[in-house]
Amino acid sequence: MTLQRANLIDPASPNPSVEALLHAFIPHKFVDHTHSTGVLAIADLEGSMEVSARVFGPKMGLVPYVMPGFDLAKLAAEVFDGDPTVDGLILDKHGIFTFGATAKEAYDRMIHYVTLAEDYVAKNGRNPFTPAALPANLARPNDIAAMLRGAVAVSKGEGRYDRMIGEFRTSPAILEFVNAVQVEDMASRGVSTPDLSIRIKTGPMVLPAPDTTDLDGYKAVIAERVAKFAEKLHHLLHAE
């Protein structure tokens, strides 16, 4: 990382990714990298290397798990050198790389192999979600938005706050997750690959479904959970 920073054109730039050398060691002009959920559903399995070989076929090189950095870059380059005809690499417990002579070729290969993963998971996976019984008087986002914004505002002293902008997102997939009995357990299991914990830390905070008949009580629940979440994150950062 020190050597990479020493070679920055602009010394004030953010730190280069620890994967910058991995991109550099691959000789193709275009190198794409994602942490595809579909790919990770396979790469996180027990026996993932065998399953990956079966799902993705011989045109994808398989790289055993190594913590991101120089060692991973070297190992990925070694796997590629073992068969330079591959379309990309599957990094165990990490993600996927695809290459190409053009941006479109690298992108099309990414879409192709991610689709293979998603199709395999759809066919062979299980639905872990059991719909929960929601309140009869379920609150709307506008009913609780101000409570949430107030709870996560950061005091700067003298009545000044750093306030957050909230964005309410919903889709069939999101609703299936957040409306499940298992949502708190599933959300607390951690990130889809160990390396994402560098940025995401403790994961999301989960709140119960809000009931319009007791919004004052819900405001207290928000405050309590935010305080616990902040304390947990503080201890995590302090430990580092």
- Third-level CATH fold of 2-124: L-fuculose-1-phosphate Aldolase (3.40.225)
At residue 70, the pLDDT reads: 85
pLDDT at 166: 87
Q: Extract the residue ranges of the chain whose pLDDT is less than 70.
A: 195, 197-202, 239-240
Domain assignments of the chain as residue spans, ordered by start: 2-124, 141-239
Helix (H, G, I), strand (E, B) or coil at 171: coil
* Residue 99 burial (CB count, 10 A): 22
Collect all residues with Cβ–Cβ distance below 8 Å to 107 and sequence separation of at least 6.
32, 98, 100
What is residue 134's predicted lDDT score, i.e. its pLDDT?
93
Is the dihedral angle over the CA atoms 53, 56, 62, 67 positive or is it negative?
Answer: negative
- The tens digit of pLDDT for each residue in 112-133 reads 999 999 999 999 988 888 999 9
Check residue 198 and give its pLDDT.
Answer: 67
3-state secondary structure of 116: helix
**What is the structure's pLDDT at 15?**
81
89: its two tokens: 């690499």
User: How far apart, in whole angstroms, are the C-alpha atoms of residue 26 and residue 74?
Assistant: 10
Give the per-residue pLDDT at 199. 66
Contacts of 210 (CB under 8 A, 6+ apart): 135, 138, 139, 143, 144, 218
Q: Is 95 helix (H, G, I), strand (E, B) or coil?
A: strand
